[in-house]
Amino acid sequence: MKRTLFEKALKADSTHGYDYILPYVEDLKNVINMEVISKERLKIGADPLGGSAVDFFDLIAERYGLQLEVVNHVVDPTFAFMTLDHDGRIRMDCSSPYAMAR
Protein backbone atom coordinates (compact mmCIF):
# COMPACT_ATOMS: atom_id res chain seq x y z
CA MET A 1 0.00 0.00 0.00
CA LYS A 2 1.32 3.41 -0.96
CA ARG A 3 1.92 5.76 1.99
CA THR A 4 0.46 9.24 1.88
CA LEU A 5 2.66 12.32 2.09
CA PHE A 6 1.28 12.93 5.56
CA GLU A 7 2.31 9.47 6.74
CA LYS A 8 5.79 10.00 5.27
CA ALA A 9 6.10 13.35 6.99
CA LEU A 10 5.15 11.86 10.35
CA LYS A 11 7.93 9.29 10.02
CA ALA A 12 10.59 11.73 8.82
CA ASP A 13 13.58 12.42 11.08
CA SER A 14 12.77 16.12 10.86
CA THR A 15 9.28 15.65 12.35
CA HIS A 16 8.95 16.11 16.10
CA GLY A 17 6.01 16.38 18.45
CA TYR A 18 5.39 19.62 20.33
CA ASP A 19 2.98 20.36 23.14
CA TYR A 20 1.29 23.67 22.30
CA ILE A 21 -1.21 23.45 25.14
CA LEU A 22 0.92 23.33 28.30
CA PRO A 23 3.15 26.34 27.44
CA TYR A 24 0.01 28.37 26.66
CA VAL A 25 -1.66 27.37 29.92
CA GLU A 26 1.50 28.13 31.91
CA ASP A 27 1.86 31.55 30.25
CA LEU A 28 -1.68 32.66 31.07
CA LYS A 29 -0.50 33.80 34.50
CA ASN A 30 1.63 36.42 32.77
CA VAL A 31 -1.35 38.14 31.15
CA ILE A 32 -4.23 37.30 33.52
CA ASN A 33 -4.12 37.36 37.31
CA MET A 34 -5.20 33.75 37.68
CA GLU A 35 -4.47 33.79 41.43
CA VAL A 36 -7.13 36.45 42.04
CA ILE A 37 -9.68 34.56 39.95
CA SER A 38 -8.94 31.37 41.87
CA LYS A 39 -9.15 33.08 45.28
CA GLU A 40 -12.52 34.64 44.43
CA ARG A 41 -13.91 31.15 43.67
CA LEU A 42 -15.74 32.43 40.60
CA LYS A 43 -17.86 29.90 38.78
CA ILE A 44 -16.82 30.08 35.14
CA GLY A 45 -18.56 28.61 32.10
CA ALA A 46 -16.40 28.25 28.99
CA ASP A 47 -17.56 27.56 25.45
CA PRO A 48 -14.63 26.61 23.19
CA LEU A 49 -16.61 27.79 20.16
CA GLY A 50 -16.43 24.86 17.82
CA GLY A 51 -13.76 23.00 19.72
CA SER A 52 -10.58 24.89 18.91
CA ALA A 53 -9.69 25.11 22.61
CA VAL A 54 -11.66 22.18 24.00
CA ASP A 55 -8.45 20.49 25.22
CA PHE A 56 -7.23 23.62 27.03
CA PHE A 57 -9.93 24.32 29.59
CA ASP A 58 -9.64 21.27 31.83
CA LEU A 59 -5.91 21.86 32.14
CA ILE A 60 -6.45 25.57 32.85
CA ALA A 61 -8.97 24.73 35.58
CA GLU A 62 -6.66 22.15 37.13
CA ARG A 63 -3.49 24.27 36.92
CA TYR A 64 -5.04 27.37 38.47
CA GLY A 65 -7.61 25.78 40.78
CA LEU A 66 -10.60 27.28 38.99
CA GLN A 67 -14.27 26.33 39.18
CA LEU A 68 -14.52 26.13 35.42
CA GLU A 69 -17.06 24.10 33.49
CA VAL A 70 -16.86 23.53 29.75
CA VAL A 71 -20.45 24.07 28.61
CA ASN A 72 -19.98 22.68 25.11
CA HIS A 73 -17.56 19.87 24.21
CA VAL A 74 -18.69 19.65 20.57
CA VAL A 75 -15.90 19.94 18.02
CA ASP A 76 -17.35 21.54 14.89
CA PRO A 77 -14.87 22.54 12.16
CA THR A 78 -17.75 23.85 10.02
CA PHE A 79 -18.53 26.69 12.47
CA ALA A 80 -22.22 25.76 12.35
CA PHE A 81 -22.48 26.95 15.97
CA MET A 82 -22.16 30.54 14.71
CA THR A 83 -25.21 32.62 13.99
CA LEU A 84 -25.22 33.94 10.44
CA ASP A 85 -24.03 37.44 9.64
CA HIS A 86 -26.31 40.04 8.00
CA ASP A 87 -25.63 38.55 4.57
CA GLY A 88 -26.38 34.95 5.58
CA ARG A 89 -22.73 33.87 5.71
CA ILE A 90 -20.78 32.39 8.59
CA ARG A 91 -18.29 34.98 9.71
CA MET A 92 -16.21 35.22 12.89
CA ASP A 93 -16.70 38.97 13.21
CA CYS A 94 -16.96 40.16 16.81
CA SER A 95 -18.01 43.62 15.59
CA SER A 96 -21.13 42.22 13.93
CA PRO A 97 -24.24 42.04 16.14
CA TYR A 98 -25.62 39.40 13.75
CA ALA A 99 -22.61 37.09 13.96
CA MET A 100 -22.40 37.55 17.74
CA ALA A 101 -26.13 37.23 18.43
CA ARG A 102 -25.76 33.90 20.20
Q: What is the pLDDT of residue 1?
A: 52
pLDDT of residue 63: 97
Q: Provide the residue count of the chain.
A: 102
d(CA 64, CA 70): 15
Cα–Cα distances (Å) from 51 to 11, 17, 56, 89, in that order, read 27, 21, 10, 20
- Report pLDDT for 39: 96
Angle at 43 between CA 41 and CA 49, to 5 degrees: 140
- Which mean pLDDT values do the consecutive 10-residue runs of the chain (102 residues) have? 82 93 96 95 88 90 95 85 87 84 80
